[in-house]
A and B are shown apart, each in its own frame.
Chain A
Amino acid sequence: MTNTAGFFRKHWKGYAFLIPIFLVLGTFKYIPFFNAVKMSFYDWNGANVKDFIGFDNFIRLFQDDTFYTSLKNIGIFTVSGILIQLTVPLIAAVLVFHVKNMKLQNMLKVWFVIPLVIPSIVIYLTWQWIFAGEYGVLNQFLEAIGLDSWTHAWLGESKTAIWSIIFVNFPWIGGITFLLYLAGLMSISSELFEVAKLDGMNAWQRFIRLELPLVRSQVKLVMVLTIIQQIQSFENILVLTNGGPGDTTISPALYLYTKGFSYSEMGYASAIGLVLFIILLLLTLINNKFVKNTDKID
């Protein structure tokens, strides 16, 4: 008894400073998390129906065509996202980095980052307007250059919808990856560039032999971030196509949202979330190992 009292007299301050954060996190993250795990084993509509059904939700999920469509879609999003993030923003960062005039370089940096400052929903809504069938910017442009036959209801046709979502923010520079690459380039010692110059390397040789190898930790980070981000694709799809036409552009997160809130199948929705969480967790573990190993080499 006196021991516990002494223990708390000695340590109470440390614990006291943690109380506010754990009150908030406990209520709004831990409890919902455990409920999400628990509910995935229930047939639950969020109100009066609540029956334990074991693994039935998961069994049903692995026979659900829409779920497989959603997995295929995040596969497409992830692969194209990686290809995009590893090329155009890197090229732009190299180009900006080699602008000699510092004032101009800073200006370019700020202008390229503008899309990052705009609320993401505004970006999606803007692109929705660009892709619109009638009086959409893209179709107007195609008509203006005489390619009337190329016009589409970009977001409304199953062949073009998913690629339109990927195309959003073209040329895909105004994002965090551009800043990460630029930071990586800035940390390269200037002596190396002097040597490259003395060796008479041209821009392409310099890129392949010097810049690309030296920003490879950024490249890896961008890959990891892109995978994690694309697997969670949600708001962009919700705003642009709401998963349509049909289910052609649906993602697992959006499927969860629809099942949970439109159909009140909250147990089933939780099972979708749990499966996706486990996929993400595995990928993160693999990534951590992967990234740590390369750190050692560096």
Chain B
Amino acid sequence: MNRKLLALPHYGSLALLLALTLFPFYMLIVSSVKYTEQAIHNFWGISFPIHFDNYSAAFKQIAPFIGNTVLISSAIVVGVVLISSLAAYSFVRFNYPGKQLFFVLILSLMMIPGYLILIPQFLLVQKLDMLNTYQGQIFPPMAFGAAMATFLMKTFFEGIPKSLIEAADMEGAGERQIFLKIIIPLSLPIIATVAIINFLAGWNNYIWPLVATNGDAVKPVILALSTITGNMDQGVGVKLAGYIISSIPLLLLFVVATKPFISGVTSGAVKG
């Protein structure tokens, strides 16, 4: 009796909250397949014919920029994983003077907010002749991701049994072999998490490419969203279709890698 009485407001409020959360996306999807005419006459519902041509029109305009973003984000991921795993290995495997200091030096970088160094970074990249290049969009974000990644990887590496590494050492395995054959294969979960954090960050990056690029050659898709236009008939639908297309890769990533995705975004939050 009591349970049934409770269930109604419980599920009712959940349904309401979920509906409100998803409503903007419903509107986005429904409106992205309408022409202006349809949007005026039937604003809220699905209206036939469904205009998938909005999607092809949008895709034509942003396809090269999606390629740019994929390239830039992937390069950031590879770079961060590489330099951070090497650093984390150094911290876990070796003892040397200044180790703590180096670790603190890396960690304290997480305290520096991005906008503080935005201007000097821009001037630096300008000096290095990296404005309007892929490198210019890869290295600075890579430096941003590396501190957090080093911290996460160091913590994970510490959980790998020391005896395993010592045994390999006894067998005469070099550092390269220990790193590539033992540490890396055992650390795939944390590598996945780090990769997803940085892929997301790379895909979402807005301010840095806004500052470090102009023109179309190396522009990422996020910057291209505001320039999508439809013809007279199509109206705003093409723009909305473009928003959805640019979100699909991340949605797919979420679907195939839900677990590292969630752990990635939450550990990214704790970094502050």
Flag whether A198 is at the interface (Cβ < 8 A). no
Mark contacts of A269-282 with chain B using CB atoms, 8 A cut-off: 1 yes-contact digit, 0 otherwise: 11001101100110
Which residues in A have some Cβ–Cβ distance to B below 8 Å?
11, 13-18, 20-22, 24-25, 27-29, 31-33, 35-36, 39, 46, 88, 91-92, 95-96, 98-99, 108, 110-122, 125-127, 129-130, 135, 137, 140, 144, 170-171, 173-174, 176, 179-180, 183, 202-203, 221, 224-225, 228-229, 232, 234-235, 238-239, 253, 256-257, 260-261, 266, 269-270, 273-274, 276-277, 280-281, 284
Closest B residue, CB atoms, query A232: B113
Which residues in B have some Cβ–Cβ distance to A below 8 Å?
6, 10, 13-14, 17-18, 20-22, 24-25, 27-28, 39-40, 43-44, 79, 82-84, 86-87, 89-90, 93-97, 99, 102, 106, 109, 111-124, 139-140, 142-144, 146-147, 150, 175, 203-204, 206-207, 211, 222, 225-226, 236, 240, 243, 246-247, 250-251, 254, 258, 261-262, 265-266, 268-270, 272
Question: Given contacts A111-B22, A112-B18, is CB(A277)–CB(B116) below 8 Å?
Answer: yes
Q: Which 8 A-B pairs have the closest CB atoms?
A: A14-B94, A17-B90, A35-B120, A32-B120, A28-B143, A32-B117, A273-B116, A14-B96
Partner of A25, one of B20, B106, B175: B106
Partner of A234, one of B115, B139, B240: B115
A14-B96, A20-B87 given; name 17 further pairs at CB < 8 Å: A24-B146, A25-B147, A35-B123, A111-B21, A112-B18, A118-B247, A118-B250, A125-B243, A126-B25, A135-B43, A140-B43, A171-B21, A183-B266, A221-B270, A225-B270, A253-B115, A276-B116
A229 and B175 alpha carbons, distance in the complex (Å): 40
Closest A residue, CB atoms, query B211: A261
Closest A residue, CB atoms, query B174: A13
29 contacts between A and B (CB under 8 A): A18-B90, A21-B83, A21-B146, A28-B124, A28-B140, A28-B142, A35-B117, A95-B10, A95-B17, A96-B14, A111-B21, A114-B22, A119-B204, A119-B247, A120-B204, A122-B246, A126-B24, A135-B39, A171-B17, A176-B269, A179-B266, A180-B266, A256-B119, A260-B119, A261-B122, A266-B123, A270-B116, A273-B118, A276-B113
Check B246–A32 contact: CB distance below 8 A.
Answer: no
A113 and B269 alpha carbons, distance in the complex (Å): 14
